[in-house]
Structure 1
Amino acid sequence: MNRMALTLVLLTALCFCSAMMVLYSKYLSTRAYMQVSQSQKIIDALDVQWSQLQIEESTFSEHGRVERAARDRLDMTYPALDGTVMIVR
């Protein structure tokens, strides 16, 4: 009977350890999934920001806007006809 009780205790301990490892594995899996979800949210936010920056860049690099900025801020103008020189080969 002593040997049977020892085997029963050993099997119970192994079953308990197995159950604890299943719980720990589930915990690690859940934590990893949360990290992946958080990283995906960050990636989505950065993608939206990148799209907005591309739109902003295309708006600010528009030819008319550059011409207006050169004329208004830098007082640049097109040269008059007498200020231009034509080079002929």
Structure 2
Amino acid sequence: MPQNTDDQFYTRADAHIHLANEHCLDTSRGKVSASMMYALARFNAWVSACGFENGADMQAARAETLDYFVAQYRAMLEENLDEYIAHFAEYMDKTEPES
């Protein structure tokens, strides 16, 4: 679980997942995933920019900002991959109907 979460953390995450699942009804999961990653990158660039007075200060912290977000994403992805590995049969029930 990510550190420093508030009581609405998973509610917000689930809302984004629900929206992504809706988009999967009319396009591929890969396309939806790519759009979500782009949107998150764009949003995080904006969140980061809000913490600076000017572009030069933001440029000076660029590497640190990238390292932070990449490390956070990696940790969250690792946690979720491990959960899916441990519960694969339950989460990915591919039971075929009997003929």
User: Which TM class, normalised by the smaller chain length?
Assistant: 0.3 to 0.5
TM-score by length of 1: 0.34
Q: Structure 2 length normalisation: TM-score?
A: 0.31
